[in-house]
Amino acid sequence: MTPDTILTLKGISKTFYLGTPNQNNVLNNLNLTVKKGDFITIIGGNGSGKSTLLNSIAGTFLIDKGSIKIKEKEMNKLKEEKRASLIGRVFQDPLMGTAPRMTVSENLSIAYRRGQKRTLKKGSTSNERLYFKTLLKKLDLGLEKRLDSEMGLLSGGQRQAIALLMATMNQPELLLLDEHTAALDPKTASVVLELTRKRIEEENLTALMITHNMQDALNYGNRLIMLDKGQVIIDLSGEDKQDLTVAEVLGLFQKRTENRLVSDEMLFN
Ligand SMILES: Nc1ncnc2c1ncn2[C@@H]1O[C@H](COP(=O)(O)OP(=O)(O)OP(=O)(O)O)[C@@H](O)[C@H]1O
Ligand SMILES: [Mg+2]
């Protein structure tokens, strides 16, 4: 491990419904090392294990085998709440990241105070409100005027933008994005993606972003990985990624999976 390593996954495996007819080996001995400042886009077919990978890192459930380290700290036995101060997350569903019955400002206060000493103060302090206003203004969506609006009244795109702000506010070691623009119309999706890029850059974050949009996976980030059957089968960064086209990624996928079929056959016959 080098000093700039943020995340180390060694041989991680996760099986659901072990020992039943529905047994599902979702992650299979997966390895991945992520450096500080990496912005990795993750692609892969439905059911290839992308969300399971992020859930395993966040501690939504414990993995069966292998090791997950954030910096030098072993995560394996740590519950989700204990990992939360290290990890920011935004999900596909705009309803998930924020509390719909609370105002924008109250939602932001919750995120802002996370990791700080517990305070019994309700609502937001005037200093907090001032800070939130400057943050929201930077999003350029007019949300600085909506501090007292109920979150549930905002559009999906506005909610995702605020969820992103909340997830990145305390400079987490890792930002995990699971198709966070998939529920938005194309124009709003690209606004939220640009915001994502900006926040990652401004806060110097390390991020893993799942997307089904190949072009987005190529346009964003410095590294691209593809999952298939719970393993990383493509891992490209730097210039290798920059010059890639969607057709080339698909070609690579076909080649890698064919090779795997051949080696599986050699293994099993
Ligand atoms: N908590 C869970 N309990 C049981 N099975 C699960 C659980 N989470 C995921 N799975 C199963 O694991 C497999 C991989 O699911 P996962 O959500 O990781 O795929 P994905 O790559 O994110 O797919 P998609 O592109 O459709 O989101 C699926 O067969 C799914 O049903
Ligand atoms: Mg998924």
The model's pLDDT over 174-196, given as tens digits with 9 standing for 90+, comes to 999 999 999 999 999 999 999 99
Is residue 80 assigned to a domain? yes
Q: Which domain holds residue 37?
A: 5-100+174-195+202-268
pLDDT confidence of residue 268: 52
- Asked if residue 2 has pLDDT above 90, the reply is no
β-sheet bridge partners, residue 35: 5
* 213 within ligand 1 shell (Cβ under 6 A): no
How many other β-carbons are positioned within 10 Å of the β-carbon of residue 51? 18
Atom of ligand 1 nearest to the CA of 227: 21
* 11 within ligand 1 shell (Cβ under 6 A): no
- Asked if residue 245 has pLDDT above 80, the reply is yes
Distance CA 120, CA 134 (A): 24
Distance CA 10, CA 67 (A): 5
Is residue 122 assigned to a domain? no
Is residue 168 assigned to a domain? no
The structural domain count of the chain equals 1
> For a pLDDT cut of 70, what percent of the chain falls above it?
94
Give me the CATH number covering residue 187: 3.40.50.300
* 16 within ligand 1 shell (Cβ under 6 A): yes
202: closest CA among 169, 226, 174? 169
Distance CA 166, CA 186 (A): 23
Å from CA of 132 to ligand 1 middle: 36
Distance CA 245, CA 228 (A): 19
- Asked if residue 27 has pLDDT above 70, the reply is yes
Å from CA of 73 to ligand 1 middle: 26
pLDDT confidence of residue 119: 62
Is residue 158 assigned to a domain? no
Is residue 226 assigned to a domain? yes
- Asked if residue 269 has pLDDT above 60, the reply is no
Is residue 86 assigned to a domain? yes
E-state strands within the chain: 5-16, 24-35, 39-43, 65-70, 73-74, 87-90, 174-178, 207-210, 223-228, 231-237
The arithmetic mean of pLDDT across residues 65-85, rounded, is 94
Q: What is the pTM of this model?
A: 0.93
pLDDT confidence of residue 179: 97
pLDDT band at residue 220, thresholds of 50, 70 and 90? very high
Distance CA 111, CA 106 (A): 9
* 44 within ligand 1 shell (Cβ under 6 A): yes
Is residue 164 assigned to a domain? no
Is residue 79 assigned to a domain? yes
